[in-house]
Chain A
């Protein structure tokens, strides 16, 4: 082999670097510095999903709907501006035809007329598997977590409202005004938002992190809503979906919503 001094120095340098790197790496690993982990009580899932049972909601009456809405809005300091133009909504009731347009399901429509028409349906962020809002966000303020939750980083939101235009479900609201004076009852454990950011349902990520189910699910007394891991065959949501006929909002758009409605 034709070895020059230059080659020798190169190899010698690399060797010295390698020998030096090992103890340095060991020292860092052994330092035991601060680290960040999950709460051991946190609820974990591969893909979170929600099931809303419209039949049960009809049995329980309209108070049950309002109870869910109030529980959510109270837990998350959602303001009430008192006019529909400015209003912020995380979860709210709409007419059946608006929530589940049934052009594709002719006979389902007839079924609706018989059983469930004239009763409002709760709608919220669908935490789509392919969220269009995440794709359009220019600052990555909205993002999808590993477990399927589509969340907001309010620190990053610049209020451009691209996500609101992209969301086919109208699940997002912009704070046109300072929300603080319009919060009726303050939950001091949760932050508020500021003027100029978009907000939406977060599937109660902060509650899941301490082992609690979402506030709306907890507010349901007769199991009108269920929450669980879609990838776990023994979860509540999978059982419900196995035994009942369920549809989703606007599935033809291909966003794969993760909120299922039992009709």
Chain B
């Protein structure tokens, strides 16, 4: 190999810079977000584990059922009925989206665009919100 010394040194420098984020954050524990749960309600629409893992799929089925089929009442696994509405049912318990939705979404760096149209409680009318 021509100029092997320079090339190898170059590769080492490149790898060191490339891996910098890993070195930089080594040992620092990332604190998972702490969500503020509703005080006056113990049970969500479905079991907590299911809600944690699949709330987005559930909201998607709710959306399609309400908008396209006009079926707006959800009968949960426990037999309880709910009005399928992000704005009027979910947010009625989870009153501040900043302390519930946003904390986890920001942590995972996902930006669902629900709030471009649906009105969160206490939201100011200043256009797009994250």
How would residues 137 to 165 of chain A score, 1 for a CB under 8 Å from any chain B CB and 0 otherwise? 00000010101000101110000000000
Interface size band for B: 20 to 34
List, in ascending order, chain B residues with CB within 8 A of A205's CB. 70
| Complex: A147 Cα to B72 Cα, angstroms | 16
Asked if A39 is at the interface of the complex by the 8 Å CB criterion, the answer is: yes
Interface residues in A, total, Cβ within 8 A: 30
Binds A, one of B13-21, B26-34, B121-129: B121-129
Asked if B36 is at the interface of the complex by the 8 Å CB criterion, the answer is: no
Question: Are B75 and A37 in contact, with the CB atoms below 8 A?
Answer: yes
Question: Are B68 and A209 in contact, with the CB atoms below 8 A?
Answer: no
| Interchain nearest-CB distance for B39 vs A (Å) | 21
How would residues 60 to 72 of chain B score, 1 for a CB under 8 Å from any chain A CB and 0 otherwise? 0111010111111
Asked if B76 is at the interface of the complex by the 8 Å CB criterion, the answer is: yes
| Complex: A37 Cα to B62 Cα, angstroms | 11
Closest to B76 in A: A34
How would residues 1 to 38 of chain A score, 1 for a CB under 8 Å from any chain B CB and 0 otherwise? 00000000000000000000000000000001111111
List, in ascending order, chain A residues with CB within 8 A of B76's CB. 34
| Interchain nearest-CB distance for B8 vs A (Å) | 52
The residues in B between 88 and 130 inclusive whose CB is less than 8 angstroms from any CB of A are: 88, 113, 116-119, 121, 125-128
| Interchain nearest-CB distance for B73 vs A (Å) | 5
Select which of A33, A39, A188 is within 8 A of B77 by beta carbon.
Answer: A33
Question: Are B119 and A193 in contact, with the CB atoms below 8 A?
Answer: no
Question: Are B87 and A145 in contact, with the CB atoms below 8 A?
Answer: no
Closest to B71 in A: A36
Q: Chain A residues in contact with chain B, CB under 8 A?
A: 32-39, 42, 143, 145, 147, 151, 153-155, 178, 180-181, 183, 186, 188-194, 205, 209
